[in-house]
Amino acid sequence: MNYVKVPMDIEKGSFEIIGKEMGPHNFNDEELQIIKRVIHTTADFEYKDLVKINNNAIEVGKNLLKKGVTIYTDTNMALSGINKRALKKLNCNVKCFVDLDDVHKIAKERGITRSMAGVEKAVEDKVEIFVFGNAPTALFRLMELMDENKANPGLIVGVPVGFVGAEESKRKLEKLDIPHITIRGRKGGSTVAASIINALMYMVVER
């Protein structure tokens, strides 16, 4: 069969098609890299109007990544989607605590989600970048801890997908002063979350 077999050619071709089909826009180059990578991941052009990059999130994100930080993800799936080679080059690492035994235990004892208990542990560990693709409860819990001055993250990529709580959690995030990238409405997800972090990493490191 005749099909393109070179990964970088597939990606390059995809980005060209996305550029052609997405139509006019006012994004700068770096914003465009994020939007295009989200569309590349979903084949959903609606994201062009849904991705919101607020409070200097790109500049702050790039600087954090260059510094070599820990990224916390709400799911192992988002963690899996983050490019490990780029992470390594940047001296960054990525963690997800939802499968830890003590996180299970705390969640059960207190009747909260594992996602919430995982975020609490990440806050204790002074994680600087939080990435949420699935769990509105994780994003809500982080914002509660910020309200109580117990958490002070550098950047939040808050794009939980879903029908219960997701949209509300992202609306609340958009009102905050903190650098963040989010998706309006119900859409989002772990592939979207990972693609945003990857786009930021590819701005500061060669793959």
Q: Which residues bind to a second copy, rule: CB under 8 A?
A: 1, 3-7, 9-10, 13-14, 17-18, 40-44, 75-77, 79-81, 111-114, 116, 136-137, 140, 143-144, 161-166, 168-169, 172, 185-191, 194
Q: Which residues contact 53 (CB under 8 A, 6 or more apart)?
A: 31, 34, 181
Element (DSSP H or E) covering residue 131: strand 129-132
Beta carbon nearer to a second copy, 47 or 60: 47
Cβ proximity of 56 and 179 under 8 Å: yes
Q: Which residues contact 84 (CB under 8 A, 6 or more apart)?
A: none
For the bound state, the minimum distance from the C-beta of residue 167 to a second copy, rounded and expressed in Å, comes to: 9
- Could you say which of 25, 40, 104, 180 is catalytic? 40
For the bound state, the minimum distance from the C-beta of residue 159 to a second copy, rounded and expressed in Å, comes to: 11
Beta carbon nearer to a second copy, 70 or 80: 80
Q: Is 180 a catalytic residue?
A: no
For the bound state, the minimum distance from the C-beta of residue 103 to a second copy, rounded and expressed in Å, comes to: 14
Beta carbon nearer to a second copy, 4 or 125: 4
Burial 98-133 (b: 16+ CB within 10 A, else e): beeeebeebbeeeeebbbbbbbbbbbeeebbbbbbb
Strand partners, 54: 180
Active site positions, annotated:
40
